[in-house]
Amino acid sequence: MATVATCGGDAVGVGSAVATASKSNVTSFQRRGPRVSGTNDSGPRLVSITGTRPSVRNGQLLVSTGLPALDQLLGGGLAVGTVLLIEEDKYNIYSSLLFKYFLAEGIVNGHTLLVASANEDPANILQELPAPLLDNCKKEFDEDVYNHKTPESNIKMKIAWRYQLLPKMEQIRPVSSSRFGHYYDASKRIPQELIEASKWHGFFLPEKISPTLKVEPCSLTHGYIKLLQFIQNIIYEEGFDGSNPQKKQKNILRIGIQNLGSPLWGDDICCTENGDSGHNLTKFLYVLRGLLRTSLSACIITMPTHLIQNKAFIAHVTNLSDTVVGLESFIGSERETNPLYKDYHGLIHIRQIPRLNNLVCDESDVKDLGFKLKRKLFTIEWVQDNYLRQERNIYPPGFSYLLKQKDSAWGEGSLQHSTFLMSFLAKATAFASRLVRHSEPLKQTGSGRIRQAAGPRLWHDGRRQEAPGLLGIPP
Amino acid sequence: MFPELNNLLNTTPDRAEQGKLTLLCDAKTDGSFLVHHFLSFYLKANCKVCFVALIQSFSHYNIVGQKLGVNLTMARERGQLVFLEGLKSAVDVFFQAQEKPHPLQFLREASAGNLKPLFEFVRDALKPVDSGAAGWTYPVLLVDDLSVLLSLGLGAVAVLDFIHYCRATVCWELKGNVVVLVHDSGDVEDEENDILLNGLSHQSHLILRAEGLATGFCRDVHGQLRILWRRPSQSTSQRDQSLTYQYKIQDRSVSFFAKGMSPAVL
C-alpha cells in the first residue's frame, strides 16, 4: 500500500488521493480518511468513526446534518472541518428545528456536543431535542408515506415532457442498519437516558461573562473571545485536533452556535445599519474556521440574517462560511395564500456549497425547493410548477418547441423560467393574433373602389379607421 | 494548469511574460479554479511562488494540485513554494501573543490595521537567495483572496497600498508576476470592494473575470470567462483586447468554448 505524505513533519491530510499524475508508480488508489492536517501519525489506516462516511466524490469525511433530505442536497452530508451556516427564517421556528436535528444526530451517533447560546441555557436546549425514530416505528412511517402519495404523480406529460425526466425526490425509508442519517419525530422529546449517556459541553453566555467586568477594547467582542477560547480549550483538551498523543480521539465534536450575531452576543450588526464596524463577526468566523479545519469537528451556526440591513455584510459572511442554507417560512407572508405553495411551509435555498479538495462540487440541479413539516418528518421537495404539470393547453402550436429545446442556459425547472416563459408567450400570442387577418380577403366583384377588407376595422390603438385592405386598387 | 486556458491566453510555462499584474475576479460564481490554474502554471514554469492562501487550507490546494499535475508538498520542501496558510496562522496569532510581528497581525488589533507585516513576509519570501543555486526563473506572488482582507476589517486603501508595495517589489524590482483574486459583489452595494476592484483593474495587465450566466444555473455551462488584456502604462490609443468564452469545470480540467457552442447544445 502506498503511504504518501504521511511521513515528514507536515502531513497533507490523511485522506489524500494518490493521483495517477504523481511520479511514483502506484495505482490510483484513493484512501478515505479524515481530513485533518494536524494528525501526523494516525497513518494510512482507515479511520472509521460512527456516524461518518466518506464522500463518494473526493473522499472527504462527512457527517449527517440530522436531515437525510438536506444531506442529499449537500452532496452526501456536511464535511468534517466545515461550517454550516443557516440563515434563519423570520420567526426562528424552522431554523431552530434544524439546529436541534443536528444536535440530536450527534447524540444518537455518540458524538461529543458543544452547544453555545446567548439566550437559552444549553441544558434546556438539549431537553427539547426531537426523539429519534427507531426501527419499531418503521411501520407507522410507511403508512404515513402512503397516505400522502399524490395521485397525479404518474400522469405522462405531453408538452412539459422534460419535467417528467427530472428525478422525483423520493423519501428514503429508514433502514435499520444505516448508521448515517436518522429520522426524528418532532413531536416527541428525546429520551432522558440518551442525553445522560452523551457527552456535551454547554456555553451559556450570561454565565461566562459578568456584566460588571470592565473590558478593555480589543479586536473582538468579549463574548466572541470567550466562545473562541472555550471552543479551543475543548478541542485541545479532548484531543480533537490530534495534537495530544495520549488522547487519541476518534470521535467528532459537533459544535452548535445559536443566533450568532444577535444583540445578545454583544454585537450590533443586527441593530444598526452600519454596525459591525469592528468586524467582530467576520473575524470570529475566520478564526472559528481555522479551528475547525485543524480538528475533527463540524459546526452549525444559525444567524438572523433577515435582521441585517447591510447586504454587503451578508455577502462577506457567506464567503467566509463553507455551506450556507437559507430558510424562508411562509408564516405571515403573502405566499401563505398562494395556491402554488399550499402544501409547503416554506422555501429552502441552498446558497453555497463548498468545493473542497476538488474543482467541482455536487450542486443539485433543482433550485426551487420547499420544505414542509408533516407529523413526524421534515421533508424537502422540489416546488413543482403546477401550471406546467396540469398541462393546460395555453401554448399555441408552434411555441411548444421552446419547451422541447435541448439543454439551454436557462435555469431548468425554475419558477422564474416558467413564469417568464408563460408571460412572454401570452404577450407574444396576444400581439400576433392582432396581426393575423381574421377573414378571407374578398374576391373582387365590383369595380374595385371598395377599399377595405370585410374585417374588423379596429386597430390596436382603438381608432376606427379604414384600413387599406387588399382591394385598395386605385380606379 | 488547464491547457485550453493556456491556448486562450496564448502563453506556455516556458515563455510567460514577466513583470505583470493579473487580476482574477469572480461575480456570482466561484472563480477559484483560476487560482488553481495559475498556481500549477507557475510551479511548472519553475518559478519561486509565494502563495498567501487566506481562504482554504493547504491540503485542499495540494489535492487539487495533484489532479493538475503538481505536488505542493514537494515544492514546499525544496523551497520553490512558500505557503502562508491563513486559517492556521490566524489561530496561532489570535490565541497567543507573538513576539515578532506576524503576517496576520491585524487580527489582533481593534482598529483598522495595515498590511505592512504581510508585505514584509512576502518580501522576505521572494527575495533572491544570495547563493543563487536554486535556479528559479522569477518570483511570483499569488493571493487568494483579497476580499477576505476587506471582510476582516482592513480598509480598501490599506489593501491597495499592500498591492502597490508588492508590485513595486515583485513586478518592477524582481521582474516577477503578481496574481490576485477579488470577489465582485455585483449588485450588492459594497463600497470598499468596489474601490478595491476598480483600483486593481486600472493597474493590472490582464483581467480574467469569471461570471455566472445571466440566466441562472446550468448544468453544462458553469459560467462565462472574460479575458481583458490591458496596457496600463501606455496611453489608451491602442484598444484593449477582450475575449469572452464559456466554460465547464470538470474533475481534472476546465473546457472552454465559444458562447453558445457548448457541446451539450450542439
Q: Which residues in B lie closer than 8 A to residue A320 (C-beta atoms)?
A: 148, 151
Domains of chain B by residue range: 3-213
**pLDDT per residue rounded down to tens, chain B (266 residues):** 898 999 888 888 888 888 999 999 999 888 999 999 999 999 999 999 999 999 999 999 999 999 999 999 999 999 999 999 999 999 988 888 777 788 888 888 777 788 999 999 999 999 887 665 567 889 999 998 899 999 988 889 999 999 999 999 999 999 999 999 999 987 888 888 999 999 999 989 999 999 988 887 888 889 999 999 987 666 665 667 888 999 999 888 899 988 888 887 77
Question: What is the C-alpha separation between A178 and B239, in angstroms, rounded?
Answer: 63
- The CATH class of B3-213 is alpha beta
Nearest Cβ partner of A357 from B63, B87, B89?
Answer: B63
Helix/strand/coil for A336? helix
Cβ–Cβ below 8 Å for B67 and A21: yes
Question: Which CATH architecture best describes the domain A52-134+179-270+277-394?
Answer: 3-Layer(aba) Sandwich (3.40)
- Find the mean pLDDT for residues A372-376: 80
> 10 Å Cβ neighbour count for A221?
21
> Of all residues in chain A, what percent carry a pLDDT higher than 70?
60
When scoring B1, B32, B60 by the number of chain A Cβ atoms within 10 A, the one with the most, hence best to mutate, is B60
When scoring B36, B151, B159, B197 by the number of chain A Cβ atoms within 10 A, the one with the most, hence best to mutate, is B151
CA distances from B233 to A198, A249, B242 (A): 65, 58, 18
- B110 in A contact zone (CB under 8 Å): yes
> Is-contact A228 A284, C-beta < 8 A?
yes
When scoring A73, A162, A292, A316 by the number of chain B Cβ atoms within 10 A, the one with the most, hence best to mutate, is A316
ipTM: 0.93
Cβ–Cβ below 8 Å for B264 and A16: no
Say what the pLDDT of residue A247 is: 64
Question: What is the C-alpha separation between A37 and B58, in angstroms, rounded?
Answer: 8
Q: First-to-last CA distance in chain A? A: 100
Nearest Cβ partner of A355 from B32, B109, B252?
Answer: B32
Query: Could you report the per-residue pLDDT of B65-88, keeping only the tens digit for each?
Result: 999 999 999 999 999 999 999 999
Q: Is the pLDDT of residue A189 over 80?
A: yes
Domains of chain A by residue range: 52-134+179-270+277-394
Angstroms from B21 CA to nearest CA on chain A? 24
Q: Which residues in A lie closer than 8 A to residue B183 (C-beta atoms)?
A: 315, 319
Say what the pLDDT of residue A438 is: 62
Query: Could you report the per-residue pLDDT of A128-141, keeping only the tens digit for each?
Result: 999 888 764 444 44
Q: Is the pLDDT of residue A390 over 70?
A: no
Q: Which residues in A lie closer than 8 A to residue B69 (C-beta atoms)?
A: 21
Nearest Cβ partner of B152 from A279, A312, A356?
Answer: A279
**What is the band of A179 on the pLDDT scale with cuts at 50, 70, 90?**
low
- A21 in B contact zone (CB under 8 Å): yes
Listed residue (A330, A323, A301, A303) closest to A314, CA to CA: A303
The rounded Cα A106 to chain-centroid distance in angstroms is 20
Element (H, E) at A195: helix A192-197
- Find the mean pLDDT for residues A331-360: 84
**What is the band of A14 on the pLDDT scale with cuts at 50, 70, 90?**
very low
Q: Is the pLDDT of residue A23 over 50?
A: no
In chain A, which residue's Cα lies nearest the Cα of B223? A409
Q: Is the pLDDT of residue A465 over 70?
A: no
Q: Is the pLDDT of residue A250 over 90?
A: no
Helix/strand/coil for A192? helix
- A2 in B contact zone (CB under 8 Å): no
The mean-pLDDT minimum among A55-69, A144-158, A365-379, B107-121 falls in: A144-158
Phi, psi of A420 (to 5 degrees): -65, -45
Query: Could you report the per-residue pLDDT of A138-148, keeping only the tens digit for each?
Result: 444 444 444 44
